[in-house]
Structure 1
Amino acid sequence: MAMTDTEFHQLADEMFGKIENAVEKAIDEQDADVDINASGNVLQLSFEDGSQIVINKQEPLHEIWLATKSGGYHFNYADKKWLDTRNSIEFMPFVIDAINKQSGIMLEINA
């Protein structure tokens, strides 16, 4: 059964919230220098070195798109997980690793 737009937004917003909370915790505990800009369908993280990670909701496709220094990735919801459409890597471990590689910040996020 296809996911509704409402279900998509609930799932995506939950992921965005977990990332925001973990980054805010890292700012407090690790004295991390990160700017968080959450606006509409986009969550943007800007790091000390000027690099960014941008996560956005693609409602028509029911996908989450992730842009990092290493490239762009599209994640689809399947089997109760957000998985990369090319290689089935799970979203949350991937985004935690991308943030660490780009900024040195270690995030703790419970899936």
Structure 2
Amino acid sequence: MKDSEFHQLADEQLNIIEEAIEESGADIDFEITGNVMTLEFEDRSQIIINKQEPMREIWLASKSGGYHFSLQDEKWLCSKTGKELFELVKQECDKQSDEEIDWA
């Protein structure tokens, strides 16, 4: 996979996360700076999602720990849990948020 393809596919996944947060109405602020997406919660805790170009992975850091995702069969899967990135993002947001998030 070329760098440009990796960035395109990773950016698509980050856009999906952005849109889901916006549509959920959850009190989660998010910002993308370079290769890093920061999700900030009301209690000021954060989830950090970043693109690791040399590894061709997306990494997620939360209160629960760190997770690495690689693209397998068109899905970003965690090397530790086998879960998809978006599912783990939802799970971690639910844990860190003091509100019930409607992910519809």
User: What is the 5 A alignment of 1:1-111?
Assistant: 3-27=1-25, 32-103=26-97, 104=99, 105-108=101-104
Q: Determine what percentage of the aligned residue pairs are the same residue.
A: 54
Paired residues in the alignment total 102
The runs of 5 or more residues in structure 2 that have no matched partner are none
Q: TM-score, normalised by structure 2?
A: 0.89
Structure 1 moving runs of 4+ over 4 Å: none
The two structures, once aligned, show a CA RMSD in angstroms of 1.3
The runs of 5 or more residues in structure 1 that have no matched partner are none
Q: Deviations over 1:62-102 (max 9, x none)?
A: 00000111001000111111111123222111111111111
Q: TM-score, normalised by structure 1?
A: 0.84
Q: Deviations over 1:40-74 (max 9, x none)?
A: 10110100011111100000000000011100100
Which one has more relative contact order, counting CA pairs under 8 Å at least 6 apart?
A: 2
SS at match of 1:8: helix
